[in-house]
Chain A
Amino acid sequence: MDGVHVALASGESLVVLGPNGAGKTTLLRMLATLLRPDEGSLALLGHDCPEHADRARGAIGYLGHDPLVYLDLTAWQNLELFADLYGLDDPRTRIVDGLDAVGLLPRAYDPARTFSRGMVQRLGLARMLLHDPDLLLLDEPYAGLDARGRALLDEVLAAERAGRATVMVTHDVERGVAAADRALVLRAGRPVLSEPVTDVDPAAFRARYEDLVR
């Protein structure tokens, strides 16, 4: 990564676009405190990172390519684990609400291994939102989801986005731009575009994007 400058306020959303190998996931993993930048500065939710990454982590929600849940545990056991790791009060209510929001409450006591790919991704979504994070980091969250799963994910994210900063990495340019306030396009680790997209037609933006990354 080189020359990337991102500033995001609470309630704002950023979509990060680019071809494979552009550095999108690397950027997101830095924001998730999973990678240390060699140079430059990173402040998350008012905490300088990586020095104070441990203070920022409690307010970050991350959903990557993988849903980050144990397939051999039940949906309830997975959320119970993360409720304890995040030190949540009243975990029972939060787990019930979380599973209900993603439509998995009837399957709460089934091992995640018995779920379809879309259901596991929804469980990952419930895990991400369980601790009411201030910063949502989404890496290809639509990957592997069918149309119904995508619609549900859109619905949940739209409901949960208010008051949180959101960064989404996706190859789905139109869907990403439609959901974001700003777009950052990367190519070979460098930004080639960074601008607001609130009033931009997603289809028209896609044509521009194709030119930028060609």
Chain B
Amino acid sequence: MSPRSLRQFRALLVKDLRLELRTRDTAIAMLLFSVISMVIFQFAVGTRTEETTPFAGGILWATIALTAVLGVSRVYVPEREQRVLDGLLIAPVPRMVLMTSKAVAIVLYLLAVEIIAVPLVGIFFVEGSFAQDLPLILLTCLLANTGIGILGSLFASMALFSRAREVVLPVLFLPSLLPVVIAAAGATHSVFGVSNDMAEYRGFSLFLAVYAVIFGLVAYATYPFVFDD
């Protein structure tokens, strides 16, 4: 990224964070959604027993995937509602920079949710101590969020010009997230609670990294055409 693009990227990201801090529309909605989902899961599968521990990773990442749909569907809301998109598209900003800023915003919103959701899933479902597992789960979150952010930014931009975007976005986005959910749940499961299978963790983490790289390349090739064609 050139210094000029870096300046544009920083400006767009700061703008998104400023808008979010002022309105608190997206991150709060995502956080509430994830907490409510986990409470529902808790009633459905039970609380903190030996039986619930293996489900903790799956519950966490199913919740994060659904929360991501909410976040991704709202990522262009300021541009849409305040009708500013044309202003960004007329500016000499490479489309890649525009969408990378949105991808990073999604990653940060998800991270804000996960800071609450990961300990909560541990408290609700994992028997025994899990504090020592949090650094590895944080790494899983960062890898998974990168893939979700790239894909989310791409689909959100594609859905922007669709009349039925509320339907199109989840229908396209959720199935594409399935590999991330499987790998992130696997990675989380392999280290959460009493489990400590580092070989399995490394395998799933490598898969998440490869997923992010592949969709990063797909996005790089696709971004210029999303807005201009």
Contacts and interface: CB of A to CB of B under 8 A. Distances in A.
Contact of B8 (A50, A80, A85): A85
Interface residues of B, number: 27
B179 interface: no
A64 B93 CA distance: 19
A53 B95 CA distance: 12
B19 interface: yes
B132 interface: no
Contacts of B202: none
Interface residues of A, number: 30
Nearest to B10: A84
A20 B90 CA distance: 24
A82 B8 contact: no
Interface stretch (B36-44, B77-85, B180-188): B77-85
A196 interface: no
A60 interface: yes
Given A72-B23, A84-B11, A77 B88 contact: no
B175 interface: no
A179 B124 CA distance: 70
A58 B92 CA distance: 5
A87 B3 CA distance: 10
A55 B92 CA distance: 7
Interface in B139-186: none
Nearest to A84: B11
Name, among A62, A77, A87, A127, the residue most crowded by chain B CB atoms within 10 Å (CB to CB): A87
Nearest to A58: B92
Contacts of B8: 84-85, 87
Contact of A85 (B18, B83, B91, B228): B91
B18 A73 contact: yes
A82 B89 CA distance: 12
Given A72-B78, A86-B91, 4 more contacts: A68-B86, A72-B19, A73-B15, A85-B92
Interface of B: 4, 7-8, 10-12, 14-15, 18-19, 22-23, 78, 82-84, 86-94, 228-229
